[in-house]
Amino acid sequence: MPLTYTIIPDHNLVYVRYWGFAQLSDTLKVFGDYAADPAFRPDQKHLIDLSEITDFERSFVDLVSAQAAKADAILQSQAPTMMVYLAPTQVAQAMARSILKSWDGLDVTVGRTAQDMDEALSMLGLPARSFADLPFRNA
Protein backbone atom coordinates (compact mmCIF):
# COMPACT_ATOMS: atom_id res chain seq x y z
CA MET A 1 0.00 0.00 0.00
CA PRO A 2 1.78 3.17 -1.16
CA LEU A 3 0.50 5.29 1.70
CA THR A 4 1.37 5.82 5.35
CA TYR A 5 0.56 8.19 8.19
CA THR A 6 2.37 9.40 11.29
CA ILE A 7 0.72 11.31 14.12
CA ILE A 8 2.85 13.97 15.78
CA PRO A 9 0.91 14.81 18.96
CA ASP A 10 3.28 17.61 20.04
CA HIS A 11 2.22 19.58 16.94
CA ASN A 12 -1.39 18.30 16.76
CA LEU A 13 -0.50 17.03 13.29
CA VAL A 14 -0.94 13.96 11.16
CA TYR A 15 1.56 13.56 8.33
CA VAL A 16 0.31 11.47 5.41
CA ARG A 17 2.72 10.37 2.70
CA TYR A 18 1.74 8.90 -0.66
CA TRP A 19 4.06 7.40 -3.25
CA GLY A 20 3.53 5.60 -6.53
CA PHE A 21 -0.03 5.21 -7.78
CA ALA A 22 -2.61 6.62 -5.32
CA GLN A 23 -5.82 4.60 -5.02
CA LEU A 24 -8.98 5.51 -3.13
CA SER A 25 -9.25 2.05 -1.57
CA ASP A 26 -5.81 2.52 0.02
CA THR A 27 -6.77 6.00 1.20
CA LEU A 28 -9.93 4.70 2.89
CA LYS A 29 -8.07 1.80 4.52
CA VAL A 30 -5.31 4.02 5.94
CA PHE A 31 -7.78 6.73 7.00
CA GLY A 32 -9.74 4.07 8.88
CA ASP A 33 -6.53 3.00 10.63
CA TYR A 34 -5.78 6.64 11.45
CA ALA A 35 -9.29 7.31 12.80
CA ALA A 36 -9.00 4.22 15.05
CA ASP A 37 -5.51 5.16 16.27
CA PRO A 38 -5.45 6.04 20.00
CA ALA A 39 -3.51 9.22 19.12
CA PHE A 40 -6.21 10.38 16.64
CA ARG A 41 -7.87 13.69 17.42
CA PRO A 42 -10.55 15.17 15.14
CA ASP A 43 -8.94 18.62 15.34
CA GLN A 44 -5.50 17.49 14.13
CA LYS A 45 -3.99 19.40 11.23
CA HIS A 46 -3.18 17.31 8.17
CA LEU A 47 -0.02 17.52 6.08
CA ILE A 48 -0.55 15.37 3.01
CA ASP A 49 2.64 14.78 1.06
CA LEU A 50 1.91 14.03 -2.59
CA SER A 51 5.45 14.74 -3.78
CA GLU A 52 6.19 11.11 -4.69
CA ILE A 53 3.00 10.09 -6.48
CA THR A 54 3.30 8.98 -10.09
CA ASP A 55 -0.44 9.07 -10.81
CA PHE A 56 -3.78 8.71 -9.05
CA GLU A 57 -7.19 7.13 -9.44
CA ARG A 58 -9.41 9.61 -11.26
CA SER A 59 -12.98 8.82 -10.29
CA PHE A 60 -14.53 12.00 -8.92
CA VAL A 61 -17.73 10.21 -7.89
CA ASP A 62 -15.74 7.67 -5.86
CA LEU A 63 -13.59 10.46 -4.42
CA VAL A 64 -16.64 12.38 -3.16
CA SER A 65 -17.97 9.15 -1.64
CA ALA A 66 -14.62 8.56 0.09
CA GLN A 67 -14.58 12.12 1.43
CA ALA A 68 -18.06 11.62 2.87
CA ALA A 69 -16.77 8.59 4.78
CA LYS A 70 -13.80 10.61 6.06
CA ALA A 71 -16.03 13.54 7.04
CA ASP A 72 -17.73 11.45 9.72
CA ALA A 73 -14.47 11.28 11.68
CA ILE A 74 -13.37 14.88 11.25
CA LEU A 75 -16.84 16.33 11.86
CA GLN A 76 -16.25 15.62 15.54
CA SER A 77 -14.04 18.73 15.64
CA GLN A 78 -15.50 22.07 16.68
CA ALA A 79 -13.65 23.88 13.88
CA PRO A 80 -12.80 23.01 10.27
CA THR A 81 -9.80 20.70 9.86
CA MET A 82 -6.75 22.33 8.28
CA MET A 83 -5.37 20.23 5.42
CA VAL A 84 -2.27 21.22 3.49
CA TYR A 85 -1.34 19.23 0.40
CA LEU A 86 2.35 19.26 -0.53
CA ALA A 87 2.14 19.14 -4.31
CA PRO A 88 5.40 20.08 -6.07
CA THR A 89 4.69 18.23 -9.34
CA GLN A 90 2.00 18.59 -11.99
CA VAL A 91 0.44 15.22 -11.17
CA ALA A 92 0.49 16.04 -7.44
CA GLN A 93 -1.13 19.41 -8.12
CA ALA A 94 -3.84 17.72 -10.19
CA MET A 95 -4.55 15.28 -7.36
CA ALA A 96 -4.64 18.09 -4.78
CA ARG A 97 -7.05 20.12 -6.95
CA SER A 98 -9.32 17.10 -7.31
CA ILE A 99 -9.33 16.47 -3.56
CA LEU A 100 -9.95 20.13 -2.72
CA LYS A 101 -12.79 20.27 -5.25
CA SER A 102 -14.41 17.26 -3.58
CA TRP A 103 -14.67 19.28 -0.34
CA ASP A 104 -16.32 22.28 -2.09
CA GLY A 105 -19.38 23.55 -0.29
CA LEU A 106 -18.56 21.78 2.96
CA ASP A 107 -17.35 23.60 6.05
CA VAL A 108 -15.48 20.60 7.48
CA THR A 109 -12.05 21.43 6.06
CA VAL A 110 -9.81 24.32 5.12
CA GLY A 111 -7.62 23.05 2.31
CA ARG A 112 -4.49 24.57 0.84
CA THR A 113 -1.82 23.49 -1.63
CA ALA A 114 1.89 24.12 -1.09
CA GLN A 115 4.69 23.62 -3.58
CA ASP A 116 7.44 23.03 -1.01
CA MET A 117 7.73 21.84 2.58
CA ASP A 118 8.65 25.25 4.02
CA GLU A 119 5.48 26.73 2.54
CA ALA A 120 3.41 23.81 3.86
CA LEU A 121 4.80 24.14 7.38
CA SER A 122 4.13 27.87 7.33
CA MET A 123 0.53 27.34 6.19
CA LEU A 124 0.03 24.94 9.09
CA GLY A 125 1.44 27.47 11.53
CA LEU A 126 4.07 25.04 12.75
CA PRO A 127 7.13 26.29 14.61
CA ALA A 128 9.42 23.95 12.66
CA ARG A 129 11.64 25.70 10.14
CA SER A 130 12.02 22.59 8.03
CA PHE A 131 10.64 19.11 7.67
CA ALA A 132 13.75 17.75 9.41
CA ASP A 133 12.83 19.74 12.55
CA LEU A 134 9.66 17.71 13.09
CA PRO A 135 9.84 14.65 15.35
CA PHE A 136 8.98 11.94 12.81
CA ARG A 137 9.17 8.22 13.41
CA ASN A 138 9.11 6.07 10.27
CA ALA A 139 7.41 8.75 8.18
CATH code of residue 10: 3.30.750.24
Give the residue-averaged pLDDT of 50-70: 81
Query: Average pLDDT, whole number, for the chain?
Result: 84
The amino acid present at 2, given as its one-letter code, is: P
Q: Which residue has the higher pLDDT, 138 or 69?
A: 69
pLDDT at residue 138 in the model: 47
> Which stretches within 50-89 are classed as H helix?
60-74
Q: What are phi and psi of 84, to 5 degrees?
A: -115, 125
Select from 107, 66, 101, 62 the least CA-distant residue to 85.
Answer: 101
Report the predicted TM-score, pTM, of the whole model to 2 decimal places. 0.87
**Residue 81 and residue 17: Cα distance in Å, rounded?**
18
> How many folded domains does the chain comprise?
1
Query: What residues make up the domain containing 39?
Result: 3-133
Residues 6+ away with beta carbon under 8 Å from 53: 2, 18, 19, 20, 21, 22, 89, 91, 92, 95
In a domain, 138, yes or no: no
Please tell me the least confidently modeled range out of 75-84, 90-99, 106-115.
75-84
pLDDT at residue 77 in the model: 64
Give the residue-averaged pLDDT of 41-69: 85
In a domain, 29, yes or no: yes
Q: What percent of the chain has pLDDT over 90?
A: 44
In a domain, 124, yes or no: yes
In a domain, 129, yes or no: yes
The amino acid present at 27, given as its one-letter code, is: T
In a domain, 139, yes or no: no
**Cβ pair 12, 44 in contact under 8 A:** yes
